[in-house]
Structure 1
Amino acid sequence: MSNTTVSRRTLLGGLTAAGTAGLFGCSGNGSGSQPAPAPAPTGTAVVGKTNLDIYAWTNGPTIDANFRKRIELFNREHAGKFTAKINFLPYDQYWQKVQLQYAARKPFDIYYWDVQAYAHYKRNLVFNEQPVIDNTPMMDDKAYPTKLYEPWKFDEKNLFCVPENIQSMAMFYNRSHFDQAGLDYPDETWTWDKVIETAPKLQKSAGGKVTRWGLDIGALGIWWGIQALAWAAGTAFVDRPLEPTRFQMTDPKVVESMKYVQDMMWAKHIAPRPDERAGIAQNNGGFASGAYSMIADGTWNIASFQQMKDEWAMAPLPKYQGNSIAPYWLGGWVIPRQSAALTAAQTFATWSATDFQPQMAKDHDWIPLQNAARQSQDMLRGMPEGFDAAMKNLENARIGDIYTANMQQIFNEVYGTNFEQLLNNKLAPQAAAQKMQDAATKLLG
């Protein structure tokens, strides 16, 4: 990930293996049955307290401020019925706190989703929210991209959290740098080979030191960024994202995608190496500061990039071996079975996914789930050139998470460690792939 941009999983290390074991020591209802359906709203009946405590991890000043604005609007629109307050924690502390609250049988009223919450579903700690969602327009495939819900149907039938936004990956580029170099802008026809060819033409040096890089690998330095290349080549890290039965890290096409990214920094050196990236970050550098001309990164950075002085734009992810397949993620809300403010939590989650969607578009907050809001002039107005084209890439996008009980441990101990060594040129791609294959397979069962 870029050293200076906000990442939705800033340290993908919220729960260690030991921490997860502590969580698994508790259960939602003392049984191993599937999570029960959440009680659907029934007119004016209110279950639980009316003052709602909402928890999310901090995503930086811009996004946090947008969350606070949302809470203010919710409170105004629900005055006299519900009052909400939002609480922020650093990403790693956030998941530790979620764990502790579950262990104490006093879970948060509602909290923001990330892949760690799949473990909570597995332990029957959360409701099946499908009955609640069915009382909204969210299942209308003309109004919402309902096909993108499928990976969140953990039992292949029902949603266990309430989605509200979509995030993906795109190529961001500094228009001012391209104009200065007299180069054409990236668009949907670009390939990664074209990026590698162009990057040196944007690079600047002084005194034998690079002062501006044409490219930073950005999210290609995270496992799901590299997997996007593997997808384009016709394979994947696992046989399926929901409860995979085997890892495919040693697939030659997966190994080739790892080498492709490693070569950008080492064999070709058209992108900064990890130590060089760290030095840029220490100087408050990054894409937003003009230290890089191009970066493949998450769309959640759009809000922070809006503060840039230079003109900038975006394009779909470049093609790799003839294809461009981006990862996508759904953002949304998890409501524990033991939530102390059940009706208030359900009201806030479904309001965020329905009535609030036009305002989300106006604020350029997250990218709205609702089709009309996402494609509205309010959303497009003020957004960078190329946003609409990048969003069309969602039609071919694949879920950027893997869901299995031990996946968090695999993220931390297997992917994290070995990809770091790969990117630091301390492991050859084939050796890294074999180590990950062996270690991940042992944890799969």
Structure 2
Amino acid sequence: MKKRKAVWMLLIVVSMLVTIVAGCSQGSGGSGGAGDSGGDSGSGEKVKLRFIRWSNGPALDKEEQDKIKRFNESHPNIEVQMTLLPWDETFRKIELSLASNDPIDLFYWDVPAYAWYKKGLFKNLQPYFDRDLNMEEYNAELFEPFKFDGKNMYVAPENYQTLTLYYNKTAFDNAGLDYPNADWTWEDVLEAAKKLTIREGNRVTQYGFDATAMGTWWAWMSLSAAQGGKLVEDVHEPTKITLNTPETTAALQFLQDMIYKHKVSPDVATKDSMGLNFQTGKIAMYVGGDWDLGTLREITDFEWDMAPLPKWGEGRATPYFMGGYVMAENTKHPEEAWEFIKWTMTENQKTLANQHSWIAVHNPSREAAEMPDWVPSGYKEARFEWMKDGMIGDIYSIKWREAYDKYMVPMQDEIFINGGSVPDALAKTEREINALLQSK
């Protein structure tokens, strides 16, 4: 999920320690191919694989534990031993393990791990993909961001996550408005938000939209990208960022105006002081991750639904993210580790698809999944049709993460919290980030 704590600087410091400890002993990242077992699978003894990932809460953790249990039961020669930890602790634990002479075998991917790929600590998975997977059963073009060197897969995707427009159907019915659909533009959202904002004197009792929920770059960039804007040319090693553009200026000005000009969205202070969120029924629309579904499905006070992200004119761009598995370059059991990874991308995809917590990457499994009773009418279109206009919602390099903490967060605060000048904030932040990206 994208709910991450900002621990980048700590990770960078630890990365330096890893380089010192592991520098001379690690492989090149592309050295181990399929068939280079290096383990003891032929000894007849059960191979134990150590696997670390972060906790996502009781419900999702239960699904993870069930997945490991089912794999172990169906593979009597392999035992995956999973450790669940808080997100930031997970990456500290992984980093220290990778620096040892006996590293863990598997871990779950998130963007901080890109620094370890750069140190040659990932197994190149492309030979295994070529040997064992039928890529016609996947949207292989969506996997391209995990080809960190432009040619080879270093992370095995298990699921997608994406953004969607959520709306309060009861509020729309009360206002006599048509529901959002795939043809809606951001102007449609604004016009509906004006009619859905209810005031009693000077007090707003219902806001039409929550623009503050889009105050993070991987959300607001979708409005810029829908116009043809592009923050970086290379999501792996960007050398510059283009923020101060007509497309991004228009996108951020539009969202800021919803708060301060049109007043159809709460500002951050109002939202925090009143405890406002979609679940309270006091916000009629917001853009959020499909990972919000676990919470939203518990709503009983009103009817809600979902729709694809709105278009800007005729264009639409939908950010997506991928979760998946990394094999340590120095694992002693590469074939057994790959057996688990392969199983998560093939046999287990049917179970994953029917659970509806994550979006399965295996097309036949996803398409055959049964729809549970709780899903709203717009579920399939909003959650699955984005693939034709999907754009990766991550930038990987260490410098980008530093740039985000130092410069992008203050810029977003200036625009969304302080109501400052959008052009000025973009121009200043572009200069600052480019100076960092182009520094030695």
- What is the TM-score when the length of structure 2 is the normalising length? 0.89
Match of 1:325 in 2: 317
The yes-or-no answer on 1:397 pairing with 2:394 is no
Mapped contact 2:239–2:437 kept (Cα < 8 A):
yes
Q: CA 1:361 to 1:49, structure 2 compared with 1: closer, same or farther past 3 Å?
A: same
The yes-or-no answer on 1:35 pairing with 2:30 is yes
Match of 1:229 in 2: 223
Match of 1:3 in 2: none
Match of 1:415 in 2: 408
Q: CA 1:14 to 1:212, structure 2 compared with 1: closer, same or farther past 3 Å?
A: farther
The yes-or-no answer on 1:166 pairing with 2:160 is yes
Letter in structure 1 aligned against 2:144: E
Counting only pairs closer than 5 Å after superposition, residues 193-208 of structure 1 correspond to structure 2 as: 193-205=187-199, 208=202
Mapped contact 2:121–2:329 kept (Cα < 8 A):
yes
Q: CA 1:54 to 1:257, structure 2 compared with 1: closer, same or farther past 3 Å?
A: same
**Cα distance in 2 for residues equivalent to 1:278 and 1:41:** 55
Mapped contact 2:260–2:419 kept (Cα < 8 A):
no
- What is the TM-score when the length of structure 1 is the normalising length? 0.88
Letter in structure 2 aligned against 1:371: N
My pick for the range that moved more, 403-412 or 33-42, is 33-42
Per-residue Cα deviation, 1:155-191 (whole angstroms, up to 9, x for no partner): 1111001111111111111222222322211001111
2:96 to 100, 104, 107: 100
How far apart are 1:27 and its partner, in Å?
A: 4.0
Mapped contact 1:274–1:423 kept (Cα < 8 A):
yes
**Cα distance in 2 for residues equivalent to 1:50 and 1:218:** 49
Match of 2:338 in 1: 346
Per-residue Cα deviation, 1:3-42 (whole angstroms, up to 9, x for no partner): xxxx524324344443444444454654784532344487
1:176 to 170, 175, 178: 170
Structure 2: runs of 5 or more not aligned: none
Counting only pairs closer than 5 Å after superposition, residues 1-400 of structure 1 correspond to structure 2 as: 7-16=1-10, 17-27=12-22, 30=25, 33-40=28-35, 46=41, 50-78=47-75, 80-137=76-133, 139-141=134-136, 143-205=137-199, 208-217=202-211, 219-280=213-274, 283=275, 286-309=277-300, 310-339=302-331, 341-379=333-371, 382-390=374-382, 391-400=384-393
**Cα distance in 1 for residues equivalent to 2:112 and 2:293:** 24
**Cα distance in 2 for residues equivalent to 1:382 and 1:311:** 11
Letter in structure 1 aligned against 2:378: G
Per-residue Cα deviation, 1:324-372 (whole angstroms, up to 9, x for no partner): 1101112101111133554443222221111000101111121000011
Q: What SS class does the counterpart of residue 41 from structure 2 fall into? A: coil
How far apart are 1:313 and its partner, in Å?
A: 1.6
Q: CA 1:35 to 1:366, structure 2 compared with 1: closer, same or farther past 3 Å?
A: same
Q: CA 1:230 to 1:256, structure 2 compared with 1: closer, same or farther past 3 Å?
A: same
Mapped contact 2:169–2:305 kept (Cα < 8 A):
yes
If each structure's helix is expressed as a fraction of its own residues, which one has the higher value? 2
How far apart are 1:404 and its partner, in Å?
A: 2.7
How far apart are 1:218 and its partner, in Å?
A: 5.9
Pair member with larger Rg:
2
**Cα distance in 1 for residues equivalent to 2:122 and 2:399:** 18
How many residue pairs get matched?
433
Q: What SS class does the counterpart of residue 375 from structure 1 fall into? A: helix
Mapped contact 1:373–1:379 kept (Cα < 8 A):
no
Letter in structure 2 aligned against 1:124: G
Letter in structure 1 aligned against 2:385: K
Q: What SS class does the counterpart of residue 334 from structure 1 fall into? A: strand
Q: What SS class does the counterpart of residue 116 from structure 1 fall into? A: helix
**Cα distance in 1 for residues equivalent to 2:139 and 2:277:** 33
Mapped contact 2:29–2:329 kept (Cα < 8 A):
no
Mapped contact 1:203–1:212 kept (Cα < 8 A):
yes
Mapped contact 1:28–1:337 kept (Cα < 8 A):
no
Letter in structure 2 aligned against 1:290: G
**Cα distance in 2 for residues equivalent to 1:227 and 1:131:** 35
Q: What SS class does the counterpart of residue 166 from structure 2 fall into? A: strand
Q: What SS class does the counterpart of residue 308 from structure 1 fall into? A: coil
Match of 1:440 in 2: 433
Mapped contact 1:361–1:379 kept (Cα < 8 A):
no
